[in-house]
Chains A and B, each alone.
Chain A
Amino acid sequence: MRPFTQHRGRVAPLDRANVDTDAIIPKQFLKSIKRTGFGPNAFDEWRYLDHGEPGMDNSKRPLNPDFVLNLPRYQGASILLARENFGCGSSREHAPWALEDYGFRAIIAPSYADIFYNNCFKNGILPIVLPAAVVDQMFQETAAAEGYSLTVDLAAQTVITPGGEGFAFEVDGERKHRLLNGLDDIALTLQYTDEIKAYEARREQVSPWLFN
């Protein structure tokens, strides 16, 4: 996994609440057996005017000129500004894969759905929670200034605006450590092999019917 330390990038605002993972990556693209290549189909139903299917040449498809990510001023954005309960619905990890492949490194929203939030950390995306009022302010500033960019510093746990204003955010210590260092979860867990085996032996004594 790609480590996340500090990132400065352009902000794209997605001004709607309860954006679900079906919207982030529609189901027809979940048929892929790969982990990569979902970026061109991120937000497919909002982003294009036609119906997308796997295997299409996305560069030839008609873009929806009204969809915010298609506006010239938000091209190259790497920070997604969103509203509450972002990423609700299906557990598909294809959603963070698509956002990452599109080029997003961080998301800022007042709240996230639990599974999506967790999935982001596994894929080098930092989901930042800021108070609704601060998020509101950022929506206004993004609209007001073309090229509006933010700096995210994971080690310091702050988001810094172009005006130099800093906003602190919370992140769980263990998740932060792993993201900062881009650590492989499985290799880390396997360091606990003895403890897992000891637990397993105890469990087999107590609940033998789970070990048939």
Chain B
Amino acid sequence: MLRTLYDKLWDAHVVHVEPDGMTLLYIDRQLVHEVTSPQAFEGLRINGRKPWRADTILATPDHNVPTVNRRAGIADPVSRIQVETLDANCRDFGLTEFAMNDPRQGIVHVIGPEQGFTQPGVTLVCGDSHTSTHGAFAALAFGIGTSEVEHVMATQCLWQKKSKVMLVKVDGVLAKGVTAKDIALAIIGRIGTAGGTGHAIEFGGSAIRALSMEGRMTLCNMAIEAGARAGMVAADDKTIDYMRDRPYGPKGEQWQAAVAYWRTLVSDPGARFDALVELNAAEIRPQVTWGTSPEMVAAVDGRVPDPTEAPNAVKKADWERALRYMGLKAHTPISEIALDKVFIGSCTNSRIEDIWEAAEVVRVLAGAGRKVAANVKLALVVPGSGLIKAQAEAEGLDVIFREAGFEWREPGCSMCLAMNADRLEAGERCAATSNRNFEGRQGQGGRTHLVSPAMAAAAAMYGHFVDVREVML
């Protein structure tokens, strides 16, 4: 029987199957952050339960943490209580936590892979929808609710029904300046935000093979924005190279055994998928979202669409509402959209490669005499972890950003969802490398345009969107 990667990951974790197919699935790894865990710990406490395997859990605060002046602690008392609650819960239940001032602290989906806590072949969950990120390592990773966080802590298992599997195949070579983020947005533009509902997505094809692990993480991160709880990429040499010498990864003899197993984590040639979507990488242009859903996306050389051309009445109403919220007119060229703020960060695009990409654009444009444009009030770079921040600083990238007028911050979710002090004011327009452009996501009334790090950096330097392929010639 030919099996997909998803089938293999699933089969390896089945503990028990009910007659109707409901399956008790073993969970190898759980990441925990401060927002979706307090009620789970409270549940354990009320029922006198303990974590089944404390060694399979790694916790860090990321959503609420300030990105400046951390030594002073968290000013907002409600945020502070939530972070302190995480600290206390980890202490009480004996869990490993990278607390706010630990140099390894960062966004859960960045530190998991960085530490080698995320590994090929595992099942990994977190009370966070962007857990799909970890599927880049040929792992089965998906977001769960708080009741399930508690359930996994108490039983090391989860009740699941097998999903369908969609293969998204991207072949060909990306143009220079076009990135994994653009692939992700182009896919969502094609299949819609519900296109992957009920499915796990495997990303394959030569353009995916050519992506770095960072790029694959960006892509899998956005699987949830296409409606798929899990995204994944088959294991290959890049996967294995990335895993070498990670603090929580296998060592010595175990390394050899692990690598031998990891090599099997690919879909069998000829395995059947429930759905197939194909894209030609060469046709993908830098993407910019114009609306309030990631599927409302256009190429940078395109225009804001006209709702009268929407495919149906529900969509037409959606587009009209989105344009009203975004303060945009139909037919406006994307390149004429001016910006108030720029945010480079989030679990989608805050890894070292993202920082390199953005820094390179800034370096080149600064060399041509540019700085962050006058109409851009704030341009933030927020690395995904303390270790990435340290690496970037060792390479002098913070200086490139700072001298051009960017702010260089401490790691966390920051303006991706604005639970801390970093946010948009009503009506402000932002180029963001994060993953959601929902109404109010970056602050009530704020207007978000999702782009790649290179596009965000270029937009900061021009004050409006520009085609990064042109300015980097």
Contacts and interface: CB of A to CB of B under 8 A. Distances in A.
Contacts, number: 183
B38 interface: yes
B159 A185 contact: yes
Contact of B439 (A22, A35, A96, A122): A22
A114 B154 contact: no
Interface in B362-395: none
Contacts of A91: 36, 127-129, 131, 143-145
A132 to B, nearest CB: 9
A195 B156 CA distance: 12
B365 to A, nearest CB: 33
A62 interface: no
Nearest to A20: B438
B318 interface: yes
B10 interface: no
Interface string B121-145: 1100001110100000000001111
B20 interface: yes
Contacts of A27: 417-419
B155 A113 contact: no
Given A45-B444, A185-B147, A200-B156, A31 B438 contact: no
A75 to B, nearest CB: 25
B159 A16 contact: no
Q: How large is the interface on A (under 10, 10 to 19, 20 to 34, 35 or more residues)?
A: 35 or more
B143 A115 contact: yes
Contacts of A111: 194, 197
B64 interface: yes
B162 to A, nearest CB: 12
A9 interface: no
Nearest to A136: B314
Contacts of A186: 47, 49, 150-151, 154-155
B129 A89 contact: yes
A84 interface: yes
Interface string A126-166: 00000000000000000000000000000000000000000
Contact of B194 (A30, A84, A172, A189): A84
A119 interface: yes
A16 B147 contact: no
A196 B15 contact: yes
Given A31-B64, A186-B151, A88 B258 contact: no
10 contacts: A18-B194, A22-B440, A32-B78, A45-B439, A84-B314, A93-B146, A115-B143, A172-B20, A173-B22, A185-B147
Interface of B: 15-16, 18, 20, 22, 24, 26, 28, 35-36, 38-39, 42, 47, 49, 52, 55, 63-64, 76, 78-79, 81-82, 85, 119, 121-122, 127-129, 131, 142-148, 150-151, 154-157, 159, 161, 193-194, 197-198, 227, 229, 249-250, 254-255, 257-258, 261, 293, 314-315, 317-318, 321, 417-419, 436, 438-441, 444
Given A16-B317, A189-B154, A196-B52, 11 more contacts: A27-B418, A34-B39, A55-B78, A83-B314, A91-B143, A93-B36, A185-B151, A189-B151, A192-B15, A209-B119, A212-B254
